[in-house]
Amino acid sequence: MRPKILYPLFAPLTSLSGIGPRIAPLLARAAGGEAVVDLLWHLPVGCIDRSARVMVANALDGMIATLTLQVLRHEPAPSRGRAPYRVHCADDSGEITLVFFHAREDYLRAQLPEGSTRLVSGKIERFRDLPQISHPDYIAHLDKAGEIPAFEPVYGLTGGLTQKTIGKAVGKALDLLPELPEWNDPLLVKREGWPLWGDALRQLHQPSAANGADPKHPARRRIAFDELLAAQLALSVVRAKARARPGIALAGKDGDGAEARLRNTLPFALTGAQERAIAEIHADMAEPTRMLRLLQGDVGSGKTAVALLAMARAVDSGAQAAFMAPTDLLARQHFATIGPMAATAGLKAVLLTGRDKGAERAAAVAAIADGSADIAVGTHALFQEDVDFSRLGLAVIDEQHRFGVRQRLMLSDKGHQTDLLVMTATPIPRTLMLAAYGDMDVSKLDERPPGRQPIDTRLVALSRLPEVVEAVRRAVAAGRQAYWVCPLVEEAEEVPLTSVEERGLALASVLGTDAVGVIHGRMKGPERDAAMQDFLDRKTSVLVATTVIEVGVDVPNASIIIIEHAERFGLAQLHQLRGRVGRGSEASTCLLLYGTLGETAQARLTTLRDTDDGFAIAEADLRLRGAGELLGTRQSGMPEFRIADLAQHADLLEIARVDARRILDADPELNAPRGQALRTLLYLFARDAVVATLRSG
């Protein structure tokens, strides 16, 4: 149902003249997609300023310049040795040499005939105090000066692709740009000084100034806003449609239900933040519309207790509840916590993960279907087709950023009117919150439960590794347990870092084979669970791991975590890892072992040492790394923007959010003229499903 005017942009790259089956896959890999529009979204990462037209005498070392040169003579490379081929040239101010390695003489003589005058562009270098250009970027006839761009875009490449190849392909793609109706508010466009959509893309790919790749360039901000507006519109449409569908009022029981019984058996007092979150969730659940709420809380802030009380309220209201975790291991840990607590309140909980098979699985599926299971805990296995809930009223999703929006909606669709509560222990900056969860209300747990002690965090150079190993040996002898985190699973020749397996063997030689366990993502589920269980049961004292433990099992006796090559981890991820300790009554320590520290890595590690406020850490991480890296593969449920950089364009996200709400309030079906133009925008940024939602209701 895509508009015909967009067909050329969504045609395969091979539809561009000169792009055959050999080049197309390379372009697709670089651009992140196989359609012409993907190439247009692949914006330059830099810009080479070739506007300087200088004389040889004024050409400074390291400068990129374009010179008008007379070719004096060729000096072919000797048949033996490694000397390059040289072409001696000059202008009225002095001589310069063009240097070529592994060059073909016939080709160079045709390009640079002796006695001719040519335009030559490249980087000026000094060799024995004489100017030279090694392998000029451009050599052109005087009447072909236009072939040398004054400002040349620089693209991200992949193996086998050159700047010239991608530049030519982008030029062909720009020729296909259609004239599209303006979808943005004219007052906003005027205030920001933005060009039209097509003109903006042309300015970015064919810059007329050295700041062509600057995120603050008006053309870049225009396209970034278009992308953010499409995303916010999509979230707002999903939200509006979800809220338009009738929900069920889950009001619970006053004083004598499972929720009250659960409260009475909790072994701890709830924090003020937990009570606030519970009140907000209960208010949403009591409404006859569907709840869409995010519960955001730092590691150990008590999200599970809040979720359990919400699930008990759903059961008190005659409904079932589901609790979904991202991994089998985590689902089983949650079940180990939730099952007994639910039982004390007279509730039946069942477990269902991808590893459950045969009679065990059949029994869980049957209990979910006939309603005898009040709470189902599991992984994505909960939303497989053969799992039917009797009356699902509340779906809780843990570690939301590890699930996509589609998975989240699939689970909530198991009950046609299901309330949805999603939780994350990854503190998310407000900017990312709007980008990823613009369709949700947010509750925040920003208090530490009583009794939790701060974690003593220290920076230690890797050169002091023997001291650290000795300190761990002493701690283990005293009955303490430690995590040791490494960035690699196996030793890799190209990356000189210690692997999990190598570190495990080294520690075992000091502490004894039985004292050290190893865990990483390549291990099979049961093998990984067994290693984790041994650590939990204190059969092993040190668990050497990758970041697979970032979200995971609660081991109260573990009071030390050593993170090797901490400079290679993101700040929010380091904070998550640190949260593995400090869960018991004993004072805990986090040692950040670092190799070579750059400025950004130093700032990251210092921030972590100086604060344990997850929300402050998340904001710092966004500033230091930018959203692109923050929203990398580890947080796959987060939106990945092609154009917008949330660290640079946070103000545009706020404008887009307000604009999207205003648009849908005035024209919920996007049928007005601007609404029709916005439908084109949604298609342009591959939000086809949202347009289908508008049509289907």
pTM given for the model: 0.66
CA-CA distance, 26 to 628, in Å (whole number)?
22
Element (H or E) spanning 690, and its range? helix 688-696
630 vs 543, higher pLDDT: 543
Residue 493, pLDDT > 50, answer no
CA-CA distance, 399 to 635, in Å (whole number)?
10
Place of tokens 């342009």: 684
Coil, strand or helix: which one is 11?
coil
Mean pLDDT of 154-182: 94
Residue 365, pLDDT > 50, answer yes
Q: What is the pLDDT of residue 638?
A: 47
Q: What is the pLDDT of residue 7?
A: 94
576 vs 173, higher pLDDT: 173
Q: What is the pLDDT of residue 632?
A: 35
Summarize pLDDT for 395-433 with one digit per residue, the tens: 998 875 555 555 555 555 555 678 889 888 766 766 666
270 vs 81, higher pLDDT: 270
Residue 672, pLDDT > 70, answer yes
570 vs 629, higher pLDDT: 570
Q: What is the pLDDT of residue 497?
A: 56
Strands (E), 34-63: 46-49
The average confidence (pLDDT) of the chain is 86
CA-CA distance, 369 to 137, in Å (whole number)?
69
Summarize pLDDT for 68-82 with one digit per residue, the tens: 999 999 999 887 778
Q: What is the pLDDT of residue 322?
A: 94
Q: Which fold has domain 51-148?
A: OB fold (Dihydrolipoamide Acetyltransferase, E2P) (2.40.50)
Residue 66, pLDDT > 90, answer yes
What residues does CATH 2.40.50.140 cover in the chain? 51-148
257-271, 469-483, 527-541, 683-697: the lowest-pLDDT one: 683-697
Percent pLDDT > 90 in the chain is 49
Give the confidence band of 250 by pLDDT, cuts at 50, 70, 90.
confident
Q: Does the domain made of 455-611 have the CATH classification 3.90.1170.50?
A: no
Q: Are 124 and 133 in contact (CB under 8 A)?
A: yes
Q: What is the pLDDT of residue 608?
A: 87
User: What is the biggest distance separating any 2 CA atoms in the chain, rounded to whole angstroms?
Assistant: 101
Q: What is the pLDDT of residue 447?
A: 78
CA-CA distance, 132 to 128, in Å (whole number)?
10
CA-CA distance, 216 to 72, in Å (whole number)?
45
Q: In this structure, what DSSP letter does residue 385 have?
A: T
Residue 87, pLDDT > 50, answer yes
What residues does CATH 3.40.50.300 cover in the chain? 258-445, 455-611
Residue 510, pLDDT > 70, answer yes
Q: What is the pLDDT of residue 414?
A: 58
Residue 31, pLDDT > 80, answer yes
Give the confidence band of 331 by pLDDT, cuts at 50, 70, 90.
confident
Residues 6+ apart with CB under 8 A from 187: none
Q: What is the pLDDT of residue 627?
A: 46
Q: Are 180 and 198 in contact (CB under 8 A)?
A: yes
Coil, strand or helix: which one is 419?
strand
Strand partners, 68: 119
Residue 635, pLDDT > 70, answer no
Residue 133, pLDDT > 60, answer yes
Coil, strand or helix: which one is 73?
strand
CA-CA distance, 521 to 518, in Å (whole number)?
11
Q: What is the pLDDT of residue 548?
A: 72
266 vs 655, higher pLDDT: 655
Summarize pLDDT for 545-568 with one digit per residue, the tens: 887 776 566 777 888 999 999 888
350-364, 449-463, 481-495: the lowest-pLDDT one: 481-495
Among the listed residues 559, 531, 526, the one whose alpha carbon sits nearest the alpha carbon of residue 544: 531
Domain spanning 258-445: CATH superfamily = P-loop containing nucleotide triphosphate hydrolases (3.40.50.300)
Q: What is the pLDDT of residue 432?
A: 67
166-180, 306-320, 519-533: the lowest-pLDDT one: 519-533
